[in-house]
A and B are shown apart, each in its own frame.
Chain A
Amino acid sequence: AQKVTQAQTEISVVEKEDVTLDCVYETRDTTYYLFWYKQPPSGELVFLIRRNSFDEQNEISGRYSWNFQKSTSSFNFTITASQVVDSAVYFCALSVVDSSYKLIFGSGTRLLVRP
């Protein structure tokens, strides 16, 4: 069975601090995808990134960076120099490459960035 764990329920930081959101996943499959989605207060789910299981290179996109480590089954997300607009709930998700490609979500981490 597949599972995604986001142990941090809520994180509060002051603007300009760096913050890391943790994600640990479980799967027996060797081919899978990992995702991060952002859910701002408006409610929509915004796609941030997809990584496949064969690509462990870290990725940076502006203030966002992702650290994928298969050895620890983790796919952590770091926001550098956080801003108030980063306040949202962030979801990590796993998709196994079988017939479904369905997304299995973690419970989410609520990030509050205070001015």
Chain B
Amino acid sequence: DARVTQTPRHKVTEMGQEVTMRCQPILGHNTVFWYRQTMMQGLELLAYFRNRAPLDDSGMPKDRFSAEMPDATLATLKIQPSEPRDSAVYFCASGLVGGDTEAFFGQGTRLTVV
């Protein structure tokens, strides 16, 4: 079964440290999404890419978050410096716009910033 792979699955870090989360989308998918899930805000869209180009990252705090797709097999979400309020589960999803449009989600990265 093709699936979206996220690493790490869990991350505990100290406030102020840099955190990098990685995502391997499903081969052939042209769209990658990053979502954040918290109890208070639910599932929020942070950023998404189409054919590796960023289309919208308005959901991200620009001063500390950055998202990139260095190649078609890797998407990264970086937080620098991290803060306790960044503690959440971060999901990556990929989909094929123009074909099946459902997004397939990875298992998420549970981030705890202490």
Chain A positions near chain B (C-beta within 8 angstroms): 33, 35, 37, 42-47, 50, 91, 95, 97, 99-108
**Docked-complex contact B55 and A99, CB < 8 angstroms:** yes
Expressed in whole angstroms, the Cα–Cα distance for A46 and B97 within the complex equals: 19
Given A43-B89, A44-B108, A105-B43, residue A100 in contact with residue B56 (CB < 8 A): yes
Q: Which of B60-68, B74-82, B98-106 is near enough to bind chain A?
A: B98-106
- Contact check, A101 vs B105: say whether CB atoms are below 8 A apart: no
Q: Give the chain B neighbours of A43 by CB distance below 8 A.
A: 89, 107-108, 110
- Chain A residues with CB under 8 Å of B48's CB are 100, 102
A33 nearest CB neighbor, chain B only: B101
Decide yes or no: A102 and B33 within 8 Å by CB, A44-B105, A47-B104, A91-B43 being known contacts: yes
Min Cβ gap B55→A in Å is: 6
Interfacial chain A residues near B103, Cβ < 8 Å: 47, 103
- Chain A residues whose C-beta falls within 8 Å of the C-beta of B43 in the assembled complex: 91, 105, 108
Residue of B nearest to A44 (CB): B107
* A97-B101, A101-B97 given; 13 more Cβ-contact pairs under 8 Å: A37-B105, A44-B106, A44-B107, A45-B93, A45-B108, A46-B105, A100-B48, A101-B95, A101-B101, A102-B48, A103-B33, A104-B45, A107-B42
User: Cβ of A42: which chain B residues have Cβ within 8 Å of it?
Assistant: 107
**Are the CB atoms of B108 and A102 closer together than 8 Å?**
no
Complex: chain B residue closest to A46, CB-CB: B105
Chain A residues whose C-beta falls within 8 Å of the C-beta of B33 in the assembled complex: 102-103
> Given that A35-B102, A45-B91, A95-B101 are known contacts, is A103 also in contact with B45, CB under 8 Å in the complex?
yes
